[in-house]
Amino acid sequence: MDRRFVKLSKFLSLILRHQPERFAVELDEAGWTSFAEVMEILQGLPNFRWATQADVMKVVAGETGDGKRRFEVEGGRIRARYGHTISQAIAYEPCEPPPLLYHGTSPAAVARIRAEGLRPMERQYVHLSPDTKTAVNVGGRHTQKPIVLTVRATEAWAAGVPFYRADETVYLARRVPAAYIDFPL
């Protein structure tokens, strides 16, 4: 994996997820902004002058590292699919989730989740995975021995909990009440 592409992906996250105002980038209600403006920012910074549109598209396609597709490009616009920490709410279209979704977390967080359910913490949405392997990988970023929680998503959806699909491996919810979460023994 080329370290330059890792840095490029992290920088795109900074612009599109965390600090767009720092670069005078305006995101619309769904998190989209001008691809050309993002390229101008990159070309104006000594550390990223090497980055071409093709390089950014490799990051968007998930071809440069862990295979995750954190960004998308459409019609001259670019956005982060998920993971926003900005105060501006990013809107997604609600979707019916699969019957079960999974959430990888640290053992230290389980007691709080039992009491409060899943909350997004510093992010706008709770991230949920369609399979346990992905949930283990996500949880593994926070602890060496992640705990995988099972969310009875169809049941929660029927009770009025909205779900959103950010991409093939990430579903989102603003909150999941503990009543719809199965905890390992």
The answer on 169 and 132 residing in a single domain is yes
The answer on 68 and 36 residing in a single domain is yes
Residue 87 lies in a domain: no
- What pLDDT band is residue 63 in, cutting at 50, 70 and 90? confident
**Nearest alpha carbon to residue 163 among 111, 92, 106:** 92
Mean pLDDT of 132-160: 93
Q: Is the pLDDT of residue 88 over 80?
A: no
Q: What share of the chain is helix, strand, coil (3-state, %, to 5)?
A: 35, 20, 45
Residue 89 lies in a domain: no
Q: Please name every residue paired with 103 in a beta bridge, in sequence order, or none if there are none.
A: 149
The answer on 169 and 109 residing in a single domain is yes
- What pLDDT band is residue 166 in, cutting at 50, 70 and 90? confident
Give me the torsion for CA of 54, 84, 34, 30, rounded to 10°.
Answer: 120
Residue 92 lies in a domain: no
Mean pLDDT of the chain: 91
**Nearest alpha carbon to residue 84 among 45, 131, 31:** 31
The answer on 74 and 136 residing in a single domain is no
Domain that holds residue 121: 100-182
Instruction: State residue 1's pLDDT score.
Output: 52
- Chain centroid, CA 181 distance in Å: 20
From 19-23, 124-128, 139-143, 169-173, the region with the lowest mean pLDDT: 139-143
Mean pLDDT of 77-105: 89
Query: Helical H runs in the chain?
Result: 3-13, 35-43, 53-60, 110-116, 132-139, 153-158
Please say which residue of 26, 50, 80 terminates a domain.
80
- For residues 174 and 121, give the distance between their C-alpha atoms in angstroms, rounded to a whole number: 10
Number of domains in the chain: 2
The answer on 105 and 168 residing in a single domain is yes
